Amino acid sequence: MTYLDVGPMMVALRTAPEQFELSKSGAWLRHIPSRHSFRFEPDGRVEIRARCDCSLLAIRRGQEQELTACFEQWQVDYWRPLRINKEFASHFSAQSPVRRMLLNLTGKLYYWLLRQPSARHCSGTAMSAAG
Q: What is the reported pLDDT for 130?
A: 47
- 37-88 tens-digit pLDDT: 999 999 889 999 999 999 999 999 999 999 999 999 999 999 999 999 999 9
Q: Is the pLDDT of residue 10 over 70?
A: yes
67 inside domain = yes
Domain of 43 in residue numbering reads as 3-115
Residue 8 lies in a domain: yes
123 located within any domain: no
Backbone angles phi, psi at 83, to 5 degrees: -65, -45
Cβ atoms within 10 Å of 113's Cβ, excluding its own: 10
Residue 126, in any domain of the structure:
no
Q: Is residue 131 one of the residues assigned to a domain? A: no
Give the tens place of pLDDT for each residue, 76-131: 999 999 999 999 988 887 778 888 889 899 999 998 999 887 656 555 554 444 44
Q: Quote the pLDDT of residue 70.
A: 96
Identify the helix (H) or strand (E) that includes residue 94: none
The count of structural domains within the chain is 1
- Per the domain annotation, does 100 fall within a domain? yes
In a domain, 127, yes or no: no
